[in-house]
A = this chain, B = another copy of it.
């Protein structure tokens, strides 16, 4: 289609990612035009306040508008790029764009995770693409890898570090052995963590991304709220020291695995063997380790957030959409992978090895009581360390007993811990961190 050499873009939102898109389209304009054989041109930018000062990039003021629907419906707009976040106005915008037969790029993981079926059904009906590389792991092209690179393979499991803020905090805790609350406060002051950090450190953001990954890996939609989640605030510096002693580091993981028809999906900090590649993924970096039938293990690593890395994924999506537009006859879109309904493995039936830290009174027979109760719930022990010298009985701090278990059912572990936590010898509730592997 040599007669058409410019693709028009409307940006909804001009925050960090939107600003990055504007900057990248300028900085790499020549490279993009050379590769695509066409220009990507921003024709409208929808913002709340066109007069706002101090934007992350300078833009031509005449592009700014508050009229979202008018921007979407401009006849010279081919691609609508939703970078507002949230799931209300963003959903309205994306559905309007699809209805107007605009191609869509979005970086909005919450929107995708919560409204997947509705969005993709609408897109298929309208015959348009919805691309979303930036929604998971920022600049790491994990969506393309799973959808196209591994198109002929069957994924068996994934282990991912997909929340940069959590990884930054846990990495810094590991380096400095300072407590969670302190590092979080610093991260907030430095702008690495949100004022309300719940979504990041509590696992909600990671759960959204995991839901998208599960869809691609296992062809099913899962309820984000049904994903088992633990925040990284369960980790104390002392746990990092014990983990190291046993040859592990603690990382904020998402894990998904197929069990026949059923899907296991969980988000929590986990002990990772220190010889795993994932153990070396530090700071705000992201990575996804995939185990698949034909390829075996593979890993994809890079910047999971940030203005330019995320914008890179958004603009690469635009390029692919533009290629599709040039190559396509009428309304034929690449057929999405079909989606079927599949059950999730109940949390109680999940299996893992566990790191358990018990705070107990230092008195004879304690270890025996703990071991007996664990054993009676079919939780078998791999290693035990009892800390503290004898004669500390009157100390204010509990004596720590740390246990690494063999693989056990989560339900059994929880029952055992409920029983143990009620013992008079226990000074502090047991701390539980799962072990990856």
Contact = CB atoms under 8 A, between A and B. Distances in A.
B316 A148 contact: yes
Contact of A302 (B298, B319, B330, B338): B298
B148 A148 contact: yes
Interface in A95-137: 133
Contacts of A293: 27-28, 308
A309 B149 CA distance: 11
A137 to B, nearest CB: 10
Given A36-B335, A328-B328, A151 B320 contact: yes
Nearest to A300: B300
Interface string A324-344: 101111101111011000000
Interface in A1-60: 1, 20, 24, 27-28, 31-32, 34-37
**Assembly of this chain: how many copies?**
2
Among A292, A316, A320, A338, max chain B CB count under 10 A is at: A316
Given A144-B148, A335-B37, A312 B327 contact: no
A145 interface: yes
A148 B298 contact: no
A303 B319 CA distance: 29
A139 interface: yes
A133 B154 contact: no
Nearest to A40: B152
A301 B299 contact: yes
A335 B37 CA distance: 7
A238 interface: no
Contacts of A311: 294
Contacts of A31: 152, 154
Interface residues of A, number: 65
Contacts of A388: none
A337 B311 CA distance: 21
A299 B298 contact: no
A280 interface: yes
A437 interface: no
A234 B298 CA distance: 30
A153 B316 contact: yes
Given A141-B148, A327-B329, A299 B297 contact: no
Among A133, A151, A292, max chain B CB count under 10 A is at: A151
A140 interface: yes
A302 B296 contact: yes
A318 interface: yes
A138 to B, nearest CB: 8
A139 B295 CA distance: 6
A152 B318 contact: yes
Given A32-B151, A139-B294, 18 more contacts: A28-B154, A32-B152, A34-B337, A36-B335, A133-B149, A140-B295, A144-B149, A149-B313, A152-B319, A275-B280, A277-B301, A292-B312, A293-B308, A296-B302, A298-B300, A299-B300, A300-B301, A327-B327
